[in-house]
Homo-oligomer: A and B are copies of this chain.
Amino acid sequence: MINLQPTFREPMSAIQIDEHGRLRHLLTLENLGRAHIDALLDRAAALRATVRAGSALPPLLAGRTVVNLFFEPSTRTRTSFELAARRLGALVVNFDIGSSSTSKGESLEDTLATLEAMDSDAFVVRHKENGTPARLAAHARRAAILNAGDGNHAHPTQGLLDLLTIRDRKGRIDGLKVAICGDVKHSRVARSDIHGLAALDAAEIRLCGPAALLPAQEDVPGCRITSDFDAALDAADVVIMLRIQKERIEHLPGFDEAEYFARYGLTRARLARARPDAVVMHPGPINRGIEIAPDVADGTQSVILDQVANGIFVRMAVLAELLQR
């Protein structure tokens, strides 16, 4: 079993689970617990089965209003949430931050209160500061808050869609060896993956990257930390490659794309060190030739587009769970 340190002093699990043990917000996978995670994955898989069978989706969110509050640009995640909500019948509003009251000096809490007063049922929040979704959840009167990525803290729906994708291919999470490679230190995706994998009893989580991009061991006590990419890949069942965010990396003295690819880029030769049936994952958008070779990204072991497809169903499941009457 993997032991992890809490990210925040006051655990968000107290905010996101109500007194009846039901999910009220989705802020983090940390301390969410296996039962909640399994229920969400099962629901996502059931919705997917409906679509794949050519059946119409049930209008689970008819009459509901979902507001996308994206303070950081993200078309991919925003579109995934929007499609998930609208395909279940919700009315979705994309709040335009640039021309909004918050840009006129209104506090985020007042913006939330205003939009709640318009009978909004859920807010999908992305923000560059850790804890913003939790701060909004603490102020919400009735609406559910969904964290769509806050700072380097958490991206729980990405964690869930990664779990679903692994479970599809491997039949289980428990006992698997998972390598997470790249800028682990600044990655909210990595953090949510770690919490989800630990909850579902992955055997080993290996975090790999240049020393400057790795978290401190005390922050991820159950994980193996290494700068040796070959060791991280050795007999791995799952390889999760992270996106190098150029805007963050170019501050590193002496960072060089070609050199990074040579040391930490996933090539076919490198991938041969993992188990032959290992799956290759990436949260996207991918930098071809920086963290991953094009033929690996497009290869038979890659499940990158499955991740995207599962993202819709996981977000449907979370919205349906949070907004059921």
What string of 1s and 0s marks CB contacts (under 8 Å) between A95-109 and chain B?
A: 110111101111100
Classify the interface of chain A: helix, strand, loop or mixed: helix
Smallest CB-CB separation from A115: which chain B residue? B79
A87 touches B76 (CB 8 A): no
Q: Give the shortest distance, in Å, between A112 (CB) and chain B (any CB).
A: 11
Complex interface: chain B residues within 8 A of A105 (CB): 246, 285, 287
Nearest-neighbour CB distance to chain B for A283, whole angstroms, equals 11
Set B99, B286, B308: member contacting A118, Cβ < 8 A: B308
A63 in the interface (beta carbon within 8 A): yes
Report the separation of the CA atoms of residues A73 and B103 in the bound assembly, to the nearest whole angstrom.
10
The listed residue with most B CB atoms (<10 A of its CB), out of A75, A87, A115, is A75
- Which of A73, A79, A82, A111 has most B Cβ within 10 Å? A79
Is A80 in contact with chain B by the CB < 8 A criterion?
A: yes
State whether the Cβ of A259 lies closer than 8 Å to any Cβ in chain B: no
A321 to B104, CA, bound (A): 33
Contact B83 A117 (CB under 8 A): no
Tell me how far the C-beta of A285 lies from the nearest C-beta in chain B, rounded to whole angstroms: 4
Residues of B near A98 (CB, < 8 A) are: 73
CA distance A111 to B306 in the complex (A): 14
Q: Restricting to A49-97, which residues have a CB under 8 Å from any CB of B?
A: 51, 56, 63, 65, 73-76, 79-80, 82-83, 86-87, 91, 93, 95-96
Closest approach, in angstroms, between the C-beta of A232 and any C-beta of chain B?
25
Q: Which residues of B contact A299 (CB under 8 A)?
A: none
Q: With A and B bound together, what is the CA distance between A104 and B246 in angstroms?
A: 9
Distance (whole angstroms) from the CB of A303 to the closest CB of chain B: 11
Partner of A91, one of B65, B87, B106: B87
Please, how many angstroms separate the alpha-carbon atoms of A311 and B115 in the complex?
11
Contacts of A75 in B (CB 8 A): 95-96, 99-101
Q: Is the CB of A79 within 8 A of B107?
A: no
Known contacts: A75-B96, A98-B73. The answer to whether A118 contacts B246 by CB under 8 A is no
Could you pull out 11 A-B pairs where Cβ atoms are within 8 angstroms?
A65-B83, A73-B100, A74-B99, A76-B101, A79-B115, A80-B118, A83-B119, A114-B284, A114-B285, A114-B308, A119-B309
Cβ-closest 10 pairs across A and B: A73-B99, A106-B285, A101-B285, A117-B308, A75-B100, A117-B305, A117-B309, A114-B308, A86-B91, A75-B96
